[in-house]
Structure 1
Amino acid sequence: MDSFLRTWQDELKKTFTGKSDAPPDWALQLAEGDDPGYHLPGSAVWAVHGSMSPIVAGIRTLLMQSLHPGALAGVHEHSNFRDDPLGRLAHTIRWIFTVTYGSRDAADEASRRVRRLHEAVQGDYSDGRGAVRSYSANDPELASWVHLTFTDSFLAAHKIWGHAIPGGPDAYVREWAQAGRLMGVAGPPLTESEMRHQLDAWYASGELRVDERVAETVAFIRDAPLHPLLRPGYRVLFAGAVYSLEPRFREMLGLKVPRLGPFPLPVRFATTAVLGVVRLALGPKGPSELAARSRLRRLGLPGADLE
């Protein structure tokens, strides 16, 4: 039994960081730097990203982003997500946590690194009306959709499975807008209402579409190539991501909340249980947050040792 639990815990750590025996080097390096960073302890961003809800939010984000044919074309034509999905996940987590917990210099450099990688992500796609359009991963419009789906997904998942957000949902949207600006987003939403308005505009625009490529992507996300020990829990988390989707987007994706005959299954409760187990395995605070607190203590910031 001890061997089983140790293997499960190792595979879980490897999934999120790429390493099972130690924190990744980039996380430890967040202790370096000479400024507090864009986000501080007690912020809405720390509250949301330091919880377990981002695990569900990440799945939800991928589902939402697949609805934009330009974003999906970039992933299919310029990404090795099929061969190394966990590697892609680890890179995404690195950027999120660096912007969340790192110094401003570290966050700026991490964003520049991603944008440099995006320079080669270009091509053509058919939009929702069937017209051929060009795409670029650094295009402000496409970056806006990616940022919007991220913000919406992380906020939606946290509302269901997280605790109170300091300053409320508007504070999270406003604070995380900085990440959007770092990635070239022009006019990221600053309130939850503005975020909803932008989502409504995208939905009504005809830009979003569903086709065989979307169905293939959804099937891949549903049955991600994880270690067999992680698959039962992941199936619950996927169901949680589907549960958290707005009905209109859930319908577009062809997804349904699991049911047993006429009765909906207790997805919300089951997801809470799985996230609780993951929290026990990973610990109450991740290496990125601990490294950030070390930097903040060195800089003499009040509150770095609280919580």
Structure 2
Amino acid sequence: MTTDVFVAPEMSGPADTINEKGALAATDALDSRTMTPGSPEKQSLAIGKTRKRLDPLDPSFQPKEMQKVVQEAILLAGGAVAILLQVANPGVGRGVNEHSNFAYRPVDRLRTTMTYVYCMAFGSVDEKKTIIDMVHRAHAPVQGATYSANDVDLQLWVASTLYAVGLDITEKIFGKFDDAKADEIYQEYAVLATTLRVPPEMWPVDRKAFWEYWDRSIASFEISAHAISVGKDLLWNKELPLWAKINMPALRLMTAEWLPPHMRDAYGLKTSKSRKRAYKVLLGVTKTVYPQLPMFIRTYPMKFYLKDMRRRMKNMA
């Protein structure tokens, strides 16, 4: 059982502006509000503020509100956006492009990424320890002159995309959370960062601080050749199984509408009036149909990957 570097799960995503609550503004995308340039690297994300968070390896840690978000199969629809946002960070993009088997084993990458997310949300303490150890061992050889897979700034960005994208698609389909619920979800999502050696104090203290960090990051990234290469492998991958190829046109359509415009253009995606109309129809149908599906369908990927994880762990014992 292997665990991949940097890349996040297949979930939802971004493109124009986002308010302090994480709800999308009029453009239906996740881009910056302020677009204030500045490197996010090693900045203090909440100067003078700290928040005590539960140890994710404590048996009492149960991220119940995060679980309600993560369990939904619809999150897989936005995975391309999450990945493209991640590799927009130059260090992540270079690491994935130079050390990943993404182009040849896309389904395996999806499995390993989803296994990590589901395990951190639903796994036992022992299961979490096993997966975390696998991630750290997989990251150890991923080094370069300008990046390291164990760089906490890069891991913070990866975890941030998982939160932003997961919240985005959930609110697109089910509506916005009230402030109290949104705060709980945000604080629980810190587990995806802190279990990757990101110090707890680096996870922004609250949602306002998070979106300020998000704005700085989005504004500072220029899409590199490494990121573009990963994007091509992701969105035009010839190694995909048939079921995935059938869904790629819809995935590219949604990804184009959810990415920030400058990223969409850099990744070679297109938009137009007709494409926007098609996207609105697709989103409207999904918002109507998906919530009516039985829960065993909506939670099937989560149960499938956890069962697969436990089977693999048993075989390793």
Q: TM-score, normalised by structure 1?
A: 0.68
Which residue in the other structure is 1:48 paired with? 69
Alpha-carbon distance between aligned partners in 1 of 2:276 and 2:176, rounded to the nearest angstrom: 27
Task: Give the one of 109, 119, 137 matched to 1:116.
Answer: 137
Alignment of 1:10-29 (within 5 A): none
Which residue in the other structure is 1:201 paired with? 216
Query: In the alignment, does 2:97 pair up with 1:39?
Result: no
Alpha-carbon distance between aligned partners in 2 of 1:200 and 1:34, rounded to the nearest angstrom: 33
Task: Give the one of 163, 167, 175 matched to 1:155.
Answer: 167
Alpha-carbon distance between aligned partners in 1 of 2:58 and 2:218, rounded to the nearest angstrom: 43
Which residue in the other structure is 2:150 paired with? 138
Alpha-carbon distance between aligned partners in 1 of 2:207 and 2:121, rounded to the nearest angstrom: 19
- C-alpha distance 216-288 of structure 1, shift in aligned 2 (>3 A): closer
Percent of aligned pairs with the same amino acid = 22
Alpha-carbon distance between aligned partners in 2 of 1:245 and 1:191, rounded to the nearest angstrom: 24
Gaps of 5+ in 1: 1-15, 17-32, 125-133, 293-307
Secondary structure of the 1:226 match is coil
Look up the equivalent residue of 1:230 and give its one-letter code: A
Q: TM-score, normalised by structure 2?
A: 0.66
1:274 is displaced (CA, Å) by: 6.3
Query: In the alignment, does 2:183 pair up with 1:170?
Result: yes
- C-alpha distance 91-258 of structure 1, shift in aligned 2 (>3 A): farther
Q: Kindly tell me the number of residue pairs found equivalent between the two proteins.
A: 245
Contact 1:101 1:289 in 2 (8 A): no
- C-alpha distance 88-218 of structure 1, shift in aligned 2 (>3 A): same
Alpha-carbon distance between aligned partners in 1 of 2:169 and 2:124, rounded to the nearest angstrom: 26
Which residue in the other structure is 1:130 paired with? none
Alpha-carbon distance between aligned partners in 1 of 2:295 and 2:244, rounded to the nearest angstrom: 12
Which residue in the other structure is 2:24 paired with? none
1:236 is displaced (CA, Å) by: 1.0
1:36 is displaced (CA, Å) by: 6.0
Which residue in the other structure is 1:192 paired with? 207
Look up the equivalent residue of 2:215 and give its one-letter code: D
Higher normalized contact order (CA 8 Å, seq sep 6+, divided by chain length): 2
Contact 1:177 1:190 in 2 (8 A): no
Mean Cα deviation higher: 184-193 or 157-166: 157-166
Alpha-carbon distance between aligned partners in 2 of 1:256 and 1:180, rounded to the nearest angstrom: 32
Query: In the alignment, does 2:231 pair up with 1:218?
Result: yes
After superposing on structure 2, the runs of 4+ consecutive aligned residues of structure 1 that deviate more than 3 Å are: 33-38, 162-168, 246-259, 271-282, 287-292
Flag the structure with larger Rg. 1
Look up the equivalent residue of 2:131 and give its one-letter code: A
Task: Give the one of 111, 122, 138 matched to 1:101.
Answer: 122
1:229 is displaced (CA, Å) by: 3.8
